[in-house]
Amino acid sequence: ATPAKRYAMVIDTRKCVGCHACSVSCKTENDVPLGETRSWVEYIEKGDFPEVRRSFLPRLCNQCEKPQCVSVCPTGATYKRKEDGIVVIDSNVCIGCKYCVQACPYGMRFINPTTGAADKCDFCLHRVENGLVPACVNTCQGKARIFGDLNDPDSVVSKAVRANALTVLRPEMGTGPMVFYIDADHTDARDAARLGTYVRIETNRRQQERV
């Protein structure tokens, strides 16, 4: 048997230009219906004129090490694959109860209107299984997305993990995300009131509030 893999992604936000090539490639790759998104890019604009900044935060399923979505699933439709750690949904088993949708602390899940099953980013399993990088990684304009196997010390992702200061989203949730960020802006809309400055978060999707 081949040794187990642990797929992970590092997103170097310094290289992200907010171009949405990833969002769109994800839609075409996975036929994601309008209104739902597996992958999106948030714009975080803040400051006061003329000291204004805008940074970009690409979002996708974290393929958590301790995925809440898996532990709440009553049918076992969603599970974390032993062979590579990807959290997947079996759309033939899922009943669409939306419990996992509620459970994901990152708002990554939705019910796909065509299948009636829960859906989310699966690291493009069908590509990865065939030795290709995910669609969003392949197209990434800034080459900001680095993908690979953390169990392989020579993989680009292992190297990136070793060489950089990393953060994950909402670490306090204890989910153990496998999507890591370099230089991410963790500013939240709620910080605006506290800081007394202008902060605008745009999610560029139907759910206009960040989840």
Partner 1 sequence: MLNRRNFFKLSAASAAAGVAGTMTLKQAKALPAWNGGKDFSHKTGRQRKAVPSACLQCVTRCPNIAYVEDGRVVKIEGQPNSIRSEGVMCAKGQGGVNQPNDPDRVLYPLRRVGARGEGKWKRVSWDEALGEVTARLQKLRDAGTPEKFMFHYGRMKASTSKMVGEFLKTFGTGTIGNHTSICEGGKWVAQEYTWGAHYDSWDFDNTRYVLNFGSNVLEAGTNHIPTSHRLIRAITDRNVKLVTFDVRLSNTAAKSKEWVPVKPGADLAVVLAMCNVVMNEDLYKGDGEAFLQYCKATAKHDATTAEKIASLKAHFAPYTPQWAAKISAVPAETIARIAREFATTHPACVISYRGAIAHYNGHDTERAIQTLAAITGNIDNPGGRCKAVGPKWHYPKGISEKPKARKLDILDGPKGAAVSPNHHMSHNVLKMIKDGSNGRPDIYMTYMYTPVYANGEVQENIDILKDETLVPFFVSVNPFYDESAALADLILPEPTYTERWDWEDMVSPTQVAEFYIRQPAIKPLGDCRDFATVACDLAERLGTPLGFKTKEEFVRLSCEKTPEVAAVGGFEYMKAQGVYHDPKAKPRYHSYKVEVSPAAYQKDTVVYDPQSGVYWDWKKVHVVSREEALKKGYTHTKHAYKGYVGHRVGDKVYSGFKPDKVNTSGYFEIYSSIMEDKGLAPLPTWVGVPEHENMGADDMMLTTYKVATQIHSRSQNCKFLTEVNHDNPAWINPKDAQRRGIKDGDKVKITSPVGGIETEAKVTPAVNIGVVAISHHFGHWQYGRYASGHKAPEGRDDDPDLQRIWWKDDRGVHPNWMIANSPDPINGELRWMDTVVQVRKA
Partner 2 sequence: MHELHWGLPVILYLFLGGLGAGAGAVSASVLLRSGGGDRPGSGFDIARWGALIAPFPVIVGTGMIVFELGSFQAGNWFRFVNLFKVINLSPMSIGTWLLSLFILVSLAYAYTFFMKDPRPGDARHSLRKMLAWAMVPLGVGVALYTGILLGALPARPFWNSPILALLFLVSALSTGVAAILLARAIFREATHHQEVARSTYLMTSSDLLLIAFEIAVVFLFIMYAHLTIGNTEAAVAVILGGRLTSLFWLGFVALGLAIPAAIELKYVIPTLLYQKQYVMPRSIEIAVCTLVLIGGFMLRYIVVVAGQITGPVGI
- By CB under 8 A, name the binding residues for partner 2: 57, 68, 71-77, 93-99, 101-107, 111-118, 169-170, 172-174, 186-188, 190, 207-211
- Residue of 10, 57, 86, 140 interacting with ligand SF4 (CB under 6 A): 140
Peptide bond into 50 cis (omega under 30): yes
Closer to partner 2 by CB, 24 or 97: give it. 97
Label the pairing between strands 179-182 and 166-167.
antiparallel
d(CA 29, CA 130): 14
Partner whose binding site includes residue 163, from partner 2, ligand SF4, partner 1, none (CB under 5 to 8 Å by kind): none
- Least Cα distance to 56 among 144, 139, 172, 116 occurs for 144
d(CA 169, CA 73): 22
Tell me the three state secondary structure of residue 119: strand
With contact defined as beta carbons under 8 Å apart, do 7 and 86 qualify? yes
Closer to partner 2 by CB, 130 or 208: give it. 208
Residue 164 found at the interface with partner 1 (CB under 8 A): no
Residues engaged in binding ligand SF4 (CB under 6 A): 16-22, 25-26, 29-30, 38-39, 41, 56, 58, 60-64, 67-69, 72-75, 77-78, 87, 89, 94-100, 104, 106, 108-109, 117-118, 120-124, 134-136, 140-142, 144-145, 175
